[in-house]
Amino acid sequence: EVQLVESGGGLVQAGGSLRLSCAASGITFDDYAIGWFRQAPGKEREGISCISSKDGVTYYTDSVKGRFTISKDNTKNTMYLQMDSLKPEDTAVYYCAAESSGYGCFDNAMDYWGKGTLVTVSS
């Protein structure tokens, strides 16, 4: 059984930092495109960052560029999202996901999803 388990969410003040983790079992992250998505209250889920397994290229949506950093530790089969300079508009449930072709992270193409972790940024 494949499981993706997020952790690290919580309440933080604007300007602060959090590091999210996504631990995988049942799959090897190195074989998948892996990424982070988020869904804010009343909004659609959006992809915010991704690592392609084909070429290692990372992607960030414009709203988080320069503030968030995606990484992975293949020895631990764990992915991370370092979030700095957090803003109230970053408040959302954050999900990790994996896609088997390895090329990229598209919401309707991900094969596996975690259950999410809530990040709340206070002003």
CA distance 23 to 5: 5
Residue-wise pLDDT tens for the chain (123 aa)? 999 999 999 999 999 999 999 999 999 988 999 999 999 999 999 999 999 988 889 999 999 999 999 999 999 999 999 999 999 999 999 999 999 988 889 888 999 999 999 999 999
Give me the sheet containing 18-25, strands edge to edge. Answer: 3-7, 18-25, 78-83, 68-73
Q: What is the structure's pLDDT at 55?
A: 84
Tokens of 86: 């957090």
